[in-house]
Amino acid sequence: MKMQRVIRLICLLSLFAGLAVAGHTLAAETPAALDTSRALDEMPVLTGEQWQTMQQEAKMAFILGIGHVVTIENHVVRKHPELKRQDFVAKLDEGLRGMPMNSIIEQVDSYYRQNPDDRDLPVMRVIWRQIVKPKLTTGIADRPLVDQDRR
């Protein structure tokens, strides 16, 4: 039990480290909507509004952070197979496996260009709906995929 807590803590710290890199890059390039200097009650959600103002390097840092979390989770599960689950990270791995980061960025850019009314949607939701979900045969926890797209 103690080992599971340590592993989860390592995963969370890695996630925050990846997001910190993206946040630092974003702070220099985005409007005040993502003020990284203020205290947070929760992690801000990156939306299309901010995404469209970001430089390529900042977008790459965000995608790299996602990939880093997936990679760490895979390494942990290899060492501790009893932790394997069909959770959100496992489904991200399944849907993004083998896909170049530039391709993910291009698809997100394209989505927001073609759907300007959806700029308030989180980038992760766009990645899930447009890239990951179409490649899955089952959803999180191996539940059936729901065809409805809810906001």
97-119 residue pLDDT tens: 999 999 999 999 999 999 999 99
pLDDT of residue 12: 47
Cβ–Cβ under 8 Å, residues 29 and 101? no
Helix, strand, or coil (residue 13): helix
pLDDT per position as a tens digit, 55-92: 999 999 999 999 999 999 999 999 999 999 999 999 99
pTM metric for this prediction: 0.72
Average pLDDT, the chain: 82
Number of Cβ within a 10 Å radius of residue 18: 20
Q: How high is the pLDDT of residue 13?
A: 46
Q: Smallest Cα–Cα separation from 96: which of 137, 67, 139?
A: 67
Q: Does 128 have pLDDT greater than 60?
A: yes
Residue-level pLDDT at 19: 53
User: Which amino acid, 95?
Assistant: G
Ramachandran assignment for 43, one of left (phi > 0), alpha (psi -120 to 50 degrees), beta (any other): beta
Task: Write the DSSP assignment of 74-138 as a string of letters.
Answer: HHHHHH-GGG----HHHHHHHHHTT--HHHHHHHHHHHHHH-GGGTTSBHHHHIIIIIIGGG-SS
